Amino acid sequence: MNFGALPERLAHVRAEIARRQAARGWAHPVTIVAVTKGFGLDAVEAALAAGLTDLGENRVQEALEKIDTPTGRRATWHLIGHLQRNKAKHVPGRFALVHSLDSLALAVELDQRAAAHAAGAPVRVLLQVNVAREAQKSGCPPGEAPALARRIAELPHLALEGLMTIAPFTEDADVQRRTFRGLTSLRDALKETEPAFHLTPLDVRKQEFRKSLRGYEPMGVEDFRVRVADELERILREKSVLEERVAALGEQLRAYRDRERAMNEALVAAQQLREATHTAAQREAQVVVREAEAEGRRILDAARAAKAEVERQAAEVQRQYQQYVGGFRALLERQLAELRALDGQRGG
């Protein structure tokens, strides 16, 4: 087949991506995955020659025929089709990203295969969600995605990197948009509630970027920068919420103190009344005093406990924030040092 028009079409696609990103104010990297399903090695050669290094295949067997060749080993391969459990053994070491993980059973099988692989690197996966609920398509139901994502994230030899869905095959753009908006909403909800979608200081320390002859690959670095920025934004939002809670509890504490002063004034008044009245009035005043003292102590104890909890939460947030910023700063300094060293080598 003649692939002579591929560079021109690729340039058009890239220009359209750039136009749409500029229109929305986006700057995150976009990876184009060229699907070679149904084509031979000549398609792989043409894609590589055009600058498309990320290639996708639907079926494992057809992919192996291309991957296990000198030409195929020059590409980064994505498995975009449904993965059967009996084919999981072929994934570690061959596919950079599995787009179609859709069950816990498959995840466990893939985790075991990754553990047994000589390289020992975690297999990067996306959780496929059947947002449109089409019976003929794979993917877990949206309602099961949070629990399944949590279980996948616990597997030590898998790296859950996000969600994937396939829109219905239709020319109705509204249907397609609704599908992807549904996945975006699910992603945003998971980022707020599921630790599996949070970037931790440990993730920062463990992060490794692929290297090329000219240093670190910009796409990998930029993608990680975006993830760090998103996580930092989430932490700052949580910090803002906690600060608001601290302020609210401070208002409550001031209210408790006002009530304490009022109770003290009531105690003084009661004491004065006791001195000015007869025995019966004295007994009644004593009851009032005891109740007022008990209420005052309860209020003070509650206020002190609330204040202590607020101060503890604020200190923990500050500690986590400092730890995160310190880890990220150390990572950046280390990466900058390596980049300077590489620049020095090229200059030498």
> Is residue 220, in this structure, part of any structural domain at all?
no
pLDDT per residue as tens digits for the range 243-290: 888 888 888 888 888 888 888 888 888 887 777 776 776 677 788 888
With a CB cutoff of 8 Å and minimum separation 6, the contacts of 1 are 39, 42, 43
Q: Residue 209 has what pLDDT?
A: 41
For residue 224, tell me if it sits in a domain. Answer: no
**Range with the largest mean pLDDT of 28-32, 97-101, 184-188, 196-200:** 97-101
222 is a domain residue:
no
What is the percent of the chain with per-residue pLDDT over 70, rounded to a whole number?
87
pLDDT tens for residues 215-251? 445 555 566 666 666 666 777 777 778 888 888 888 8
Per the domain annotation, does 229 fall within a domain?
A: no
What residues make up the domain containing 317? 235-347
Domain-located, residue 166: yes
Give the residue, 191 or 295, on which the prediction is more confident: 295
Return phi, psi of residue 251, to 5°.
Answer: -65, -40
| Count: domains in the chain | 2
Each residue's pLDDT tens digit, 127-175: 999 999 988 889 999 999 999 999 998 999 999 988 999 999 988 889 9
User: Which of 185, 200, 215 marks a domain boundary?
Assistant: 200
CA distance 189 to 300: 39
Please report whether residue 57 resides in a domain.
yes
Residues 153 and 45 placed together within one structural domain of the fold: yes
- Higher local confidence (pLDDT), 312 or 197: 312
Cβ 109 vs Cβ 86: under 8 Å: no
Supply the pLDDT for residue 253.
86
Is there a single domain that holds both residue 151 and residue 14?
yes
Give the CATH number for residue 120: 3.20.20.10
Nearest to 164 by CA among 147, 186, 143, 135: 186
130-143 pLDDT, tens digit per residue, is 999 988 889 999 99
